[in-house]
Chains A and B, each alone.
Chain A
Amino acid sequence: MNTADNIKTLFPEGSGAERSNTGNTENKETTPLVKESYLDISHVSIEFPTQNGPFKALDRVNLKIAKGEFISLIGHSGCGKSTVLNVIAGLLQATEGGVVLESKEVNEPGPDRAVVFQNHSLLPWLTVYQNVELAVKQIFNKTKSKSEMDEWIRHNLELVQMSHALHKRPSEISGGMKQRVGIARALAMQPKVLLMDEPFGALDALTRAHLQDSLMEIQRDLNNTVVMITHDVDEAVLLSDRIVMMTNGPEATVGEVLTIGLERPRNRVALSDNSEYNHYRHEVLAFLYERQRKPDEKIS
């Protein structure tokens, strides 16, 4: 039985999340613009010039994301997940197709699409406070007063539980804390979409679990639209409303989309014994290791 059908029969559309119909499972077909799509990635292809001619990293990636939705991009390394994220961020330009956010085309980076980078990317010569301040000052210079900005910076650092280390430098705090500050900086930009590039990839398992829980709490309060890249199947199932599974590159594209209908708030311990949760995990694992097994030899 075809797996996509399998998912549909088990969880008919609309059963779990009310936004499940925005997913575009058959990526090659052109779907008309869905009314409620907030972030619309349509027909994004990208080619990089190399010495051996152009290298096509992405091939017609289609994805429609609703407001407040939490999307995970998962796939083997080198499949172009980061490229998709960078196109949304405006850091890379698509060769074909494009990204539309709130009916405006994206063609340069901007604070409305804040990025949480994998290696935190805090400026090492600034303190925790100053790192967030740099972004806040740049973005809200005209709209907020000095004291409002100060309050806003402190508020966002409070959200990620970093108020105790405002005046420490990145070298003086742990990896998990750095990533918290990175998230605070992105949240402080009040983005329309929060883009996270393997935000917890470099952390140990326990720290990662802590941060995932923090992120879920923040998400419950703020209900941001999030696109997150991950390698971690558990993380994807635990956090996401939908998991977008990408095929192997080159010419990578969206393979399947899995809607996660688990109730929120989600608890990792309770879920670990939940058959529905385990079924979702199985689906992602089956996609990654059976249908898209990484052909190691192919790396050129």
Chain B
Amino acid sequence: MKNKIVNFFETIGCSWAVPIVKLATGENPKEQGNALFQLLGLPLIAIMLFLGLWSAMAAQVNTSLGTLPGPSQVWAQTVNLYAEHQEERTKEVAFYERQEKRNAKKLEKNPDAKIKVRPYTGKPTFFDQILTSLYTVFAGFLLASIIAIPLGIACGLSDKLYTAVSPLIQIFKPISPLAWLPIVTMVVSAVYVTNDPMFEKAFITSALTVTLCSLWPTLINTAMGVTSIDKDLLNVGRVIRLRWMAQVFKIALPASLPMIFTGLRISLGIGWMVLIAAEMLAQNPGLGKFVWDEFQNGSSNSLGRIMVAVLTIGLIGFVLDWLMVTLQKFVSYDKSVAR
């Protein structure tokens, strides 16, 4: 049981929790205390030092919006943003309640009356914007993966195809999202013309930009993963005369899964970075737009709010990466790959 818990924590990358578990079960307190200090204490000290330095140095910088906010002001803004979010939610609830009452009254008077249910149109809060960003990045990332994995496998299996597309990959790979954006915006406005749009144009533009930038690491890693499969494993498939599709799904794909996941992990990281820039310019209502709007707004709180957003972006990026590593450990046979 204890070993299982320890194993679990190690698999999900929370090795700092291991000494706590061991302490709780009464293992050598001195040894475990040392381990705990190493794994948890040292990072905490570093964070404390950073916060101290930040607060000391921020006070020295005077901007047109007042002094640069330190950790305490940023925390105050975090609380503030949360309060705004709560307030907005209560307003929304109240709005729907009013609407329902109104409609109920109408129906009382005349059961055949047409009632309208209008959606709440209050401005999105910071937390809504986080969700929008996550939704957008996953849409773009998913699309990129759907294109990149099959193409990567095909490239890995066929030298000729890889040689053919390799220059294209090399050229498109280093292009900045900011360079793609105008083109994507124009193409989306030209092609995506409907009266009843399922998605906002800004969303599609941002997601597509994420796709264009996060395609390449997965593609290259998948191709590399498939090319570097032990030839004997493929020969096993040939000896038992697996069909082509079975060869791909039973041997090539599982064998290259660790590499594919390494690619996916890099892709998601890039996608998240790209998204913030894309949202700023495309005005997709996510974290990027939040930062941009606060910057344009220029109130005395703006810098603090931007810093909250910056830290949130970092934290979410970290969580996304952790998610991919953990997922990789669970699905791939080679537990030593992602460390």
User: How many CB-defined contacts (below 8 Å) exist between A and B?
Assistant: 57
Q: Tell yes or no: A239 within 8 A of B by CB.
A: no
Q: Tell yes or no: A139 within 8 A of B by CB.
A: yes
Q: Pick out which of these stretches binds chain B: A63-71, A95-103, A105-113, A283-291.
A: A105-113
- B230 contacts A121, CB within 8 Å? yes
Most A Cβ at <10 Å: residue of B233, B242, B255, B334? B233
Q: Tell yes or no: A117 within 8 A of B by CB.
A: yes
- B232 contacts A171, CB within 8 Å? no
- B232 contacts A169, CB within 8 Å? no
- B235 contacts A111, CB within 8 Å? no
Q: Tell yes or no: B168 within 8 A of A by CB.
A: no
Complex CA–CA separation, A91 to B332 (angstroms): 29
Complex CA–CA separation, A16 to B240 (angstroms): 36
Of A109, A135, A189, the residue contacting B235 (CB under 8 A) is: A109
Number of contact residues on B: which range applies? Answer: 10 to 19
Q: Tell yes or no: B89 within 8 A of A by CB.
A: no
Complex CA–CA separation, A9 to B250 (angstroms): 55
Known: A123-B251, A138-B242, A189-B240. Contact between A115 and B333, CB under 8 A? no
Instruction: Provide a sorted-by-A list of 30 A–B residue pairs whose CB atoms are within 8 angstroms.
Output: A91-B235, A91-B238, A91-B239, A109-B241, A110-B239, A110-B241, A111-B241, A113-B239, A115-B235, A117-B232, A117-B235, A117-B236, A119-B230, A119-B232, A121-B230, A121-B233, A123-B233, A123-B250, A123-B251, A123-B254, A123-B255, A124-B334, A125-B254, A125-B255, A125-B257, A125-B332, A125-B333, A134-B250, A138-B240, A171-B333
A221 to chain B, nearest CB (A): 23
Complex CA–CA separation, A89 to B239 (angstroms): 8
User: Which B residues are in CB contact (< 8 Å) with A171?
Assistant: 333
Complex CA–CA separation, A123 to B241 (angstroms): 16
Q: Tell yes or no: A228 within 8 A of B by CB.
A: no
Complex CA–CA separation, A123 to B256 (angstroms): 12
- B240 contacts A139, CB within 8 Å? yes
A66 to chain B, nearest CB (A): 23
User: Which A residues are in CB contact (< 8 Å) with B235?
Assistant: 89, 91, 109, 115, 117, 121
Q: Tell yes or no: A61 within 8 A of B by CB.
A: no
Known: A109-B238, A135-B240, A138-B240. Contact between A124 and B232, CB under 8 A? no
Most A Cβ at <10 Å: residue of B240, B250, B255, B257? B240
Complex CA–CA separation, A114 to B254 (angstroms): 23
**A135-146 vs B, Cβ < 8 Å mask (1 yes, 0 no):** 100110000000
User: Which B residues are in CB contact (< 8 Å) with A139?
Assistant: 240
Complex CA–CA separation, A171 to B336 (angstroms): 11
User: Which A residues are in CB contact (< 8 Å) with B230?
Assistant: 119, 121
- A169 contacts B333, CB within 8 Å? yes
Complex CA–CA separation, A57 to B268 (angstroms): 48
Complex CA–CA separation, A243 to B221 (angstroms): 45
The 10 closest A-B pairs by CB, nearest first: A125-B333, A121-B232, A109-B238, A117-B232, A138-B240, A135-B240, A109-B239, A125-B254, A124-B333, A121-B236
Instruction: Given A109-B241, A113-B239, output 10 extra A-B contacts at Cβ < 8 Å.
Output: A91-B238, A114-B239, A115-B235, A117-B235, A119-B230, A119-B232, A121-B236, A123-B233, A123-B250, A124-B255
Chain B residues 242-274 with CB under 8 Å of chain A are 242, 246, 250-251, 254-255, 257
B252 to chain A, nearest CB (A): 11
Complex CA–CA separation, A139 to B242 (angstroms): 9
B216 to chain A, nearest CB (A): 26
Complex CA–CA separation, A156 to B241 (angstroms): 20
- A134 contacts B233, CB within 8 Å? no
Closest to A188 in B: B240
B332 to chain A, nearest CB (A): 8
Known: A119-B232, A121-B232. Contact between A111 and B239, CB under 8 A? yes
A247 to chain B, nearest CB (A): 26
